[in-house]
Amino acid sequence: MHDYLTGGFTANTSLAHYCRDNSLLIHIHRAIHAVIDRQKNHGIHFHVLAKALRMSGGDHIHSGTVVGKLEGERDITLGFVDLLRDDFIEKHRSRGIYFTQDWVSLPGVIPVASGGIHVWHMPALTEASKWSPELAAACEVWKEIKFEFTAVDTLDK
């Protein structure tokens, strides 16, 4: 695991080349991103940071989620997931994609849902708990946990 924001893009690129040369995956963390990308007056939006990561190299990254404690605005999160993953991205203003982008053959980065997800966000688990007393007990423990706050990762309208 490497934090590409604190480690820097040059270090990230060197590490990505090393990992590829040695058949290793590199998981990217984005610690301190909120200090950089959630300041509306002088920050750098995470769409830009996601593109820089894709060019720098990485196999997967904590991408945030549309539910849970690391929740972001749904369309914005889906927008940078598209930028990380897809080769061709159509303009989609509501997702913060202001022009069509063709990444040709540049490898994508797999977005990984990060913290704040629990069993009550996973309908398949709650359904499976009907047949598993152990899973039902675990689901019950998590039942009262809530992450209720307003998303701060939003586009200016």
For residue 87, what pLDDT is reported? 93
50 contacts 4 by C-beta, under 8 angstroms: no
Residue 44's pLDDT band (cuts 50, 70, 90): confident
Mean pLDDT of the chain: 82
Lowest mean per-residue pLDDT among 30-39, 94-103, 127-136 = 30-39
Residue percentage of the chain with pLDDT more than 70: 78
For residue 96, what pLDDT is reported? 86
Phi/psi at 116 (nearest 5 deg)? 95, -5
95 contacts 77 by C-beta, under 8 angstroms: no
- 153 versus 108: the higher-pLDDT residue is 108
**Model confidence over 55-71: pLDDT tens digits?**
999 899 887 666 655 55
**Model confidence over 115-146: pLDDT tens digits?**
666 666 778 888 898 999 998 898 888 777 66
Go through the domains of the chain in sequence order and give each one's CATH number. Answer: 2-117 (3.20.20.110)
Among the residues of the chain, which ranges form H helices? 4-7, 9-21, 33-37, 46-56, 74-85, 123-128, 133-142
